[in-house]
Structure 1
């Protein structure tokens, strides 16, 4: 009589194992409790960061590390451009009559800029999550067609509410702290790139710590078949199932990926703004000199 069959290898025990990789780990951890139940959930909890990286390499090869990256690449340019441009526009709108911008005004400008950029590019964010965590879909067009056919156009905006609620304080705190700390530095340090980078890193860290739970909520609401229709459903549901720590699942890999990105983006924007202002002053100076010579 034949003995019992040998145990399946770890990668075969995990039905969604191919969804693990460094850029995708925050998504997988944030949606873990929603996707896994019973033995599968226990197996997933045993997967560590290093083991996950090894697993994705064995299952999908090198290209697996970038699954879901195309929507992000397409999204990041308009997202950053709209966010940074609209922030400057909103700052002008919220200035006082004397031209000064209060702390509340900076927070309001940052919140509005974050919501504007999120709303414009939100469908690509949903596609990125679906492509990263759902098995069986290998291309962005395949995911989009499946969503349209099975869930309708509204599925591209699942979780928009918590996304707007989450991004508003995140960008508000991030941009406001960056502006205020940079402004408080001595003038000789304000113009240095290292100062901008350090300030941007501090502001991004504080904003991420404050707003990460709302990011977890929106990721779970974006999932196909999510039981959560509103933020008020999601918060108690996640708390009951995973405890308070459930709101911060995937925080470390998310921070390792996003904090440098956010810091470099703000620093680059600040540096380019300074260069443009310097160029405008130089141009005005040259025009004044030419005007004087003509006179």
Structure 2
């Protein structure tokens, strides 16, 4: 009992919070894979089309064109991962202070809330990243990141007869909303994505540690018997993360498709905020149900290794930092 109380007090200290955030930030930066260039979307997720799109971008912009928007990704991923993993530790402690309190529903809630919070704080950077990746018609120019930010801020401003922007328009009164285009779709997708990924990772890791390593998730032996299978904890973490990535990507992918369409809607309808239902209806009318799963196979190539490495590095860094 005293050990549990001491552990709970340590988790509430700033020292623990900083180390937890550092572990999450490093985990997020462990792998950066830029595969969201909308040029790929024109080929409906076909593997041959994917390669053709990549070849076209290289011809037009050179190899660096494949990483258009990567600077915004670098700026976003560390704070995003830091908040997500640090918030998960916080919500996990708040909802499940003792091991016996750990349930699938609470694991899902802790993951979902941490994902939503991290998205809210870093969403403008994600929007800028998508816009940079979408801009593939010409060779990127120096200062393109700044230009995209200025363009988003000023898009859709209508002038009145005296040359001043009318104040009654929502986007003119609250320009910050322009940096949250598609936020509702992102949150709707983040709830099943983050919730499922943390739930599956936690349950799979616990099961594999018990069956393969004869240990609990903290690495403590469950009995004096030797491990049934000679595998490392990192291998188990990678396997659990890969499964979590595959299942969570499948559960949330339709929202991802809608989110990307909404994020570039400012280029098509800069004067207003396009609704989630409007975008979903357009996708269904254009491609049917399959339209919500365009590029899912390619998405696995990105998300599965990314999630596996991210979770494994997060777990490894927590062991190293004694979190």
Task: Tell me which moved more, 202-211 or 144-153.
Answer: 144-153
Distance change (3 Å), C-alpha of 1:193 and 1:90: same
Which residue number corresponds to residue 101 of structure 1?
Answer: 102
TM-score between the two structures when normalised by the length of structure 2: 0.70
The answer to whether the aligner puts 1:267 opposite 2:317 as a matched pair is no
Consecutive unaligned residues in structure 2, runs of 5 or more: 1-32, 157-174, 220-232
> CA separation in 2, counterparts of 1:205 and 1:243?
23
Which residue number corresponds to residue 196 of structure 2?
Answer: 173
**Once superposed, what is the RMSD of the aligned Cα atoms?**
2.7
Which residue number corresponds to residue 298 of structure 2?
Answer: 253
Q: Answer whether contact 1:24 1:133 (CA < 8 A) is retained.
A: no
> CA separation in 1, counterparts of 2:295 and 2:37?
4
Pairing of 1:74-89 with structure 2 (within 5 A): 74-89=75-90
> CA separation in 2, counterparts of 1:206 and 1:147?
34
Greater gyration radius: 1
Deviation at 1:159, TM superposition (A): 0.6
Deviation at 1:126, TM superposition (A): 0.5
Task: Tell me which moved more, 184-193 or 236-245.
Answer: 184-193
Q: Answer whether contact 2:246 2:304 (CA < 8 A) is retained.
A: yes
Number of paired residues? Answer: 247
Q: Answer whether contact 1:147 1:153 (CA < 8 A) is retained.
A: no
User: Residue by residue, what CA displacement relative to the aligned partner does 1:110-143 show, whole Å, maximum 9, x if unpaired?
Assistant: 0000001101100011001111113456411111
The answer to whether the aligner puts 1:204 opposite 2:245 as a matched pair is yes
Which residue number corresponds to residue 283 of structure 1?
Answer: none
Higher relative contact order (CA 8 A, sep 6+): 2
Deviation at 1:185, TM superposition (A): 2.4
> CA separation in 2, counterparts of 1:133 and 1:67?
8
Q: Answer whether contact 2:72 2:125 (CA < 8 A) is retained.
A: yes
Which residue number corresponds to residue 154 of structure 1?
Answer: 177
Q: Answer whether contact 2:72 2:128 (CA < 8 A) is retained.
A: yes
Which residue number corresponds to residue 8 of structure 2?
Answer: none
Which residue number corresponds to residue 290 of structure 1?
Answer: none
TM-score between the two structures when normalised by the length of structure 1: 0.76
More helix, by proportion = 1
Pairing of 1:40-79 with structure 2 (within 5 A): 48-79=49-80
> CA separation in 1, counterparts of 2:263 and 2:291?
16
Q: Answer whether contact 1:26 1:253 (CA < 8 A) is retained.
A: no
Distance change (3 Å), C-alpha of 1:47 and 1:156: farther
SS of 1:229 mapped into structure 2: coil
Distance change (3 Å), C-alpha of 1:246 and 1:81: same
